[in-house]
């Protein structure tokens, strides 16, 4: 006789730090609330849940009744809570002391708010590195879950993955459960009866001492937020049908991870390689490598051997996002620098506010890009920089920095120059571009250099002129399509939209007669940084200086011949993007918004006002210039399809170099209420 299979069912709920309130409200309405309400009606269906710390705080504050329902389910023994880092960081890319702090903060929060301290932990994006083991164990975590793919990469076979294994690192021992890829793809996309039948097929035949486990732990957003899933899961009753089928089956026993872990023995020692789930292996690769990897996967599928040998077709690792996207790497290294400064403070100088801002700057979502927008979404990067800039100001108040210094922050072999006066900070890379790529205004807690350079993406080959879509199934007997299988264009996208940029999206990127100018770093002082460019006909001196709330950039032209058209490009990250809250003001009038094209022929002053920022910029020139303004877009994929996203306002200033000198000033102001 066969013995019941233990169904270890878990869901992971997360929203990025800084996500829009309307997105959170929609997620709650279509997913979190109905999911909890359905499960509440079935107290015998035991399951695990992980709400990320920031999301849990938000839901408790805005939807206390539903969170009270969750606490009641915990108290009656239906729900097992899983821990993690409080702001959902990738633990492998933050320092050990922050891993401890993040995990402990969240475990204490769960114990206080929900009455249960976790024994298991969710690993963000299932990113596994052995280096995370000590911090997890030191915080009282006894087991984690990763994909069965991780185990296959270590040489295990699918037949061996019926329970949990043990690993060790630096004298600490941690147990690991393998999540079933088959279940991840079946729930909730295949019909409920088919999913139940598959789980029943995993029941053991009674020939071993260990009860087999069907391990599922995946995003709760698949149960209501992904396309078509709300209708499928709730309106068509998939979730209730699934729960009823499980509870009615004599071959399935829904069980907590903690109970299974306490009752069963480890299957043995295992050492997992550094990896994440299989889709991530492609997303994290540069475009040429990603295309080669995808081609190899397709060849393996066509030849019929992919499923048996996929573990040996390994792509990249999560940390490759730092080498693939300079903007991600820069954010990460800035965060690490502030973490080190915070850790170096005496304990009595540290504050909870500092720690909170540090942890929120470590939230994973803005550091990478795959099926979801991630790094491409300006509001997610903005949330990271809001915390970085605010934390830096707090640290400067306790342990002041020099007003000028140089260092190679991002480890690319080129030094960066920092110049700051307590109100503004300008960071320039000391290369031939001589442009600003981070400009922080501390009173506004904003980085105006937070934009994104367009680069080729491996999924661009899927975009057809005018867009096309792959609809999901609407027949309940067939199931529905996963977001991984959909292709849809939310706007019309053409070849020019996906063309890679040929220059940094920085501030004060210069051209002479349309040709980029190459500079050499000349000198730096506590309040100025100078560059020079020289050819047979002319000499250009470029100087950056700060004064109070103003940045002043001065161009001085000399030489035998001074002719031609000089231009400088200024890319500014304005929070309103192409929304209603951002607008230009010129001579008391509003000629348009940031999402529109604008041309002014003899401009000496223009204001960029932004409701979301809570401030405005006044741009002034010492002589009349021609201004071309336009939005800078990038194209990325998301769960809803391909979309164009505004990253910055691009201001192009042009003037003839008959002027011996031209001064461009950016003045940053906080809006005051009347």
Distance between CA 335 and CA 382 in Å, rounded?
13
Distance between CA 568 and CA 651 in Å, rounded?
8
Distance between CA 161 and CA 178 in Å, rounded?
7
Distance between CA 570 and CA 664 in Å, rounded?
11
Distances (CA, A) of 210 to 47, 205, 264: 20, 11, 7
* Angle of helix 352-360 versus helix 96-114 axis, rounded to 10: 100
CA angle 562, 567, 570 (to 5 degrees): 150
Measured in Å, how far apart are the chain's first and last C-alpha atoms?
79
Q: Are 218 and 11 in contact (CB under 8 A)?
A: yes
Paired strand residues for 173: 168
Distance between CA 508 and CA 176 in Å, rounded?
51
Distance between CA 132 and CA 146 in Å, rounded?
13
Comparing C-alpha atoms, which of 308, 310, 305, 326 is closest to residue 275?
310
**188 upstream amide cis, omega within 30 of 0:** yes
Distance between CA 578 and CA 596 in Å, rounded?
8
123: DSSP letter: P
Q: Are 552 and 545 in contact (CB under 8 A)?
A: yes
> Parallel, antiparallel, or unpaired: how do β-strands 582-586 and 589-593 relate?
antiparallel
Distance between CA 209 and CA 349 in Å, rounded?
56
CB atoms within 10 A of CB 74: 18
Ramachandran sector of residue 467 (left: φ over 0; alpha: ψ -120 to 50; beta: rest): left
> Which residues are the active-site residues?
125, 219
């Amino acid at each position: 006789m066969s013995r019941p299979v233990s169904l270890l069912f878990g869901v992971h709920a997360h929203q990025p730090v800084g996500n829009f309130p309307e997105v959170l409200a929609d997620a709650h309405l279509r997913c979190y609330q109905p999911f909890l309400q359905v499960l509440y009606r079935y107290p015998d269906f035991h399951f695990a849940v992980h709400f990320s710390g920031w999301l849990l705080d938000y839901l408790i504050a805005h939807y206390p009744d539903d969170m009270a329902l969750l606490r009641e389910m915990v108290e009656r023994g239906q729900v097992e809570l899983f821990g993690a880092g409080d702001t959902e960081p990738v633990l492998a890319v933050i320092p050990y002391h922050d891993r401890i702090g993040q995990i402990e903060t969240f475990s204490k929060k769960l114990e206080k708010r929900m009455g249960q301290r976790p024994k298991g932990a969710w690993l963000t994006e299932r990113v596994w590195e052995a280096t995370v083991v000590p911090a997890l164990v030191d915080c009282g975590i006894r087991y984690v879950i990763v994909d069965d793919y991780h185990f296959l990469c270590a040489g295990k076979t699918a037949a061996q993955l019926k329970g949990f294994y043990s690993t060790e690192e630096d004298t600490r021992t941690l147990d690991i459960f393998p999540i079933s890829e088959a279940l991840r793809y079946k729930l909730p996309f295949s019909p409920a009866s088919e999913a139940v039948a598959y789980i029943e097929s995993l029941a053991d035949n009674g020939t071993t001492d260990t009860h087999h486990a069907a391990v599922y732990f995946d995003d709760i957003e698949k149960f209501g937020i992904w396309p078509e899933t709300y209708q499928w899961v709730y309106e068509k009753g998939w979730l209730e049908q699934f729960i009823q089928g499980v509870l009615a089956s004599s071959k399935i026993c829904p069980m907590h991870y903690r109970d299974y872990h306490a009752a069963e023995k480890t299957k043995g020692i295992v050492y997992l390689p550094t990896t994440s789930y299989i889709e991530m292996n492609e997303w994290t690769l540069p475009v040429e490598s990603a295309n080669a990897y995808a081609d190899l996967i397709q060849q393996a599928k066509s030849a019929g051997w992919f499923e048996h040998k996929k573990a040996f077709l390994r792509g990249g690792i999560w940390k490759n996002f730092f080498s693939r996207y300079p903007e991600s790497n820069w954010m990460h290294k800035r965060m690490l620098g502030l973490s080190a400064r915070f850790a170096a403070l005496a304990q009595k100088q540290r504050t909870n506010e500092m720690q909170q801002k540090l942890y929120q700057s470590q939230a994973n979502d803005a550091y990478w890009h795959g099926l979801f927008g991630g790094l491409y979404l300006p509001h997610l990067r903005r949330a990271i920089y809001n915390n970085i800039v605010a934390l830096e100001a707090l640290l400067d108040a306790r342990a002041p920095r020099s007003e000028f210094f140089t260092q190679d922050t991002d480890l690319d072999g080129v030094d960066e120059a920092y110049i700051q006066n307590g109100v503004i900070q300008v960071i320039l890379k000391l290369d031939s571009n001589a442009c600003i790529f981070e400009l922080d205004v501390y009173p506004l807690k904003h980085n105006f250099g937070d934009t994104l350079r367009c680069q080729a993406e491996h999924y661009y080959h899927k975009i057809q002129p005018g867009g096309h879509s792959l609809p999901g199934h609407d027949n309940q007997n067939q199931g529905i399509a996963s977001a991984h299988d959909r292709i849809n264009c939310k706007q019309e996208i053409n070849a020019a939209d996906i063309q890679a940029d040929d220059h940094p999206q920085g501030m004060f990127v210069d051209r002479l007669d349309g040709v980029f100018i190459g500079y050499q770093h000349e000198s730096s002082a506590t309040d100025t940084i100078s560059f020079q460019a020289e050819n047979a006909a002319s000499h250009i001196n470029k100087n950056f200086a700060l004064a109070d709330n103003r940045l002043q950039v001065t161009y001085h032209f000399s030489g035998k011949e001074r002719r031609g058209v000089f231009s400088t490009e200024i890319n500014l990250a304005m929070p309103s993007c192409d929304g209603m809250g951002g607008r230009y003001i010129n001579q008391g009038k509003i000629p348009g918004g940031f999402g529109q094209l604008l041309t002014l022929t003899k401009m000496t002053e223009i204001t960029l006002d932004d409701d979301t920022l809570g401030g405005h910029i006044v741009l002034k020139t010492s002589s009349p210039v021609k201004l071309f303004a336009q939005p800078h877009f990038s194209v990325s994929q998301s769960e809803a399809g391909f979309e164009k996203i505004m990253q910055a306002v691009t201001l192009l200033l042009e003037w003839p170099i008959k002027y011996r000198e031209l001064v461009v000033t950016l003045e940053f102001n906080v809006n005051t209420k009347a």
